[in-house]
């Protein structure tokens, strides 16, 4: 399910309800919007908690069957979205109780009266969101889900083993032009055996670089804020100014490191070459070369993020991986933390064009060798 649509729909519902509160009750629109956002966030959290157990059971069933159940997933989300009509009543009951116990302090803190009118206007947000979910199911936006979507791009990419179109199955010939031919001596020596030779596509914003840019921008902004605080604190206390300056350097340095990461990554990819023969795979980084046997122990995973390029992860299965693969034939067990480690050697053909066609050829030669 699409989390971007969920974020947009939640924002739209919050704005509609805040406008209703502001027009009916008056007061500050900012206070009304903040209250509606908080209310809708609590509704999403309880909705997400109610979906946890059904989601786990559905995941187990999908694993046993060996394929996903998108229709069942949407049906469960649609059914449990009715909780959005119930949760606001419970939250307002708690709010009314707090208002009575504090002698009206809650209204003063919110900047608006806790009344039936506030409830009626606020109810617009979860009611409209529930209607949208019944028409087109959306996932709940808990803090865990939103954080995973923003900071774990691997959840947003499509991993597929689908066969590419016939027109895309023909790989480009191994180049013989001087500026495009293999640069590493080992590949030059085996130029006549190479089935495929290529280099990564430089540039572009992958989901991972988008994540780093977002986090880096936030950290750089925090560093600038700490720098302003240091300048403001200096006339009062030198120690406070020094502490704020340390925070500014820490956040600013970390943010700048993330923002400059894509340039360092592209510089690294310019030294990379990919190739394979009918029996081995070659991954070259400058003068270093990895040679992987193209046999049944090599795990091949195709990843196609949004865009024209794709990634083909290649990793030899260990003894435990071979055992698990032989026991659970229909279950995809493939995890290697070094895939996301920028300092580790490349774990496959990263950012290549025609990734589906290359992956199909790799699997075909792997199957021929197995037979």
Q: How far is CA 17 from CA 28, 30, 83, 239, 353, in A?
A: 13, 12, 18, 46, 47
Residue 51 pLDDT > 70, yes or no?
yes
Cβ-contact 35, 110 below 8 angstroms: yes
Q: Which of 7-21, 255-269, 335-349 is modeled with the greatest confidence?
A: 7-21
Distance CA 250, CA 239 (A): 17
Res 66: pLDDT: 65
The answer to which of 19-33, 69-83, 89-103, 157-171 has the lowest mean pLDDT is: 157-171
Percentage of the chain with pLDDT > 90? 11
Which of 80 and 210 is assigned the larger pLDDT? 80
Confirm whether pTM is higher than 0.75. no
Which of 233 and 341 is assigned the larger pLDDT? 233
pLDDT in tens, 3-25: 778 888 989 999 999 999 888 88
Distance of CA 85 to the CA centre of its chain: 30
When pLDDT is cut at 50, 70 and 90, the band that residue 337 belongs to is very low
Instruction: Walk across the sheet containing 348-352 and list its strands.
Output: 158-159, 298-304, 310-316, 348-352
Res 371: pLDDT: 58
Q: H or E stretch including 267?
A: helix 261-269
Res 285: pLDDT: 92
Q: What are 254's two structure tokens?
A: 């970390």
3-class secondary structure, 237: coil
Residue 149 pLDDT > 80, yes or no?
no
Residue 188 pLDDT > 70, yes or no?
yes
Res 274: pLDDT: 93
Res 305: pLDDT: 67
Cβ-contact 360, 163 below 8 angstroms: yes
């Amino acid at each position: 399910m699409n989390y971007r649509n969920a974020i947009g729909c939640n924002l739209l519902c919050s704005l509609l309800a805040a406008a209703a509160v502001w027009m009916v009750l008056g007061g500050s629109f900012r206070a009304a919007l903040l209250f509606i956002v908080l209310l809708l966030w609590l509704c999403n959290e309880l909705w997400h908690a109610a979906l946890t157990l059904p989601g786990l059971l559905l995941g187990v069933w999908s694993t046993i069957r060996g394929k996903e159940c998108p229709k069942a997933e949407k049906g469960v989300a649609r059914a449990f979205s009715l909780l959005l009509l119930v949760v606001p009543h419970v939250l307002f009951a708690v709010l009314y109780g707090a208002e009575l116990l504090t002698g009206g302090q809650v209204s003063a803190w919110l900047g608006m009266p806790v009344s039936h009118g506030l409830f009626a206007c606020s109810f617009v947000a979860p009611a409209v969101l529930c209607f949208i979910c019944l028409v087109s199911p959306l996932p709940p936006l808990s803090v865990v889900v939103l954080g995973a979507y923003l900071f774990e791009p691997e959840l947003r990419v499509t991993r597929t083993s689908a066969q590419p179109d016939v027109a895309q199955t023909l790989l480009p010939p191994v180049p013989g032009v001087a500026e495009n031919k293999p640069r590493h001596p080992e590949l030059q020596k085996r130029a006549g055996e190479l089935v495929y030779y290529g280099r990564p596509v430089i540039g572009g914003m992958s989901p991972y670089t988008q994540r780093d840019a977002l986090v880096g921008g936030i950290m750089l902004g925090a560093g600038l804020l700490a720098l302003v605080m240091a300048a403001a604190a200096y006339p009062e206390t030198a120690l406070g100014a020094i502490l704020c300056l340390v925070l500014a350097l820490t956040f600013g340095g970390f943010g700048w490191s993330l923002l400059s990461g894509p340039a360092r990554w592209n510089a690294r990819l310019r030294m990379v070459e990919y190739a394979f023969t009918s029996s081995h795979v070659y991954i070259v980084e400058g003068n270093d070369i990895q040679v992987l046997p193209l046999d049944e122990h090599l795990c091949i995973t195709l990843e196609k993020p949004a865009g024209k390029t794709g990634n083909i992860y290649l990793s030899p299965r260990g003894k435990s991986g071979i055992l698990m693969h032989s026991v659970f034939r229909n279950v995809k067990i493939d995890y290697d933390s070094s895939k996301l480690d920028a300092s580790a050697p490349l774990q496959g053909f990263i950012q290549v064009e025609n990734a589906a066609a290359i992956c199909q050829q790799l699997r075909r030669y792997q199957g021929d060798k197995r037979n």
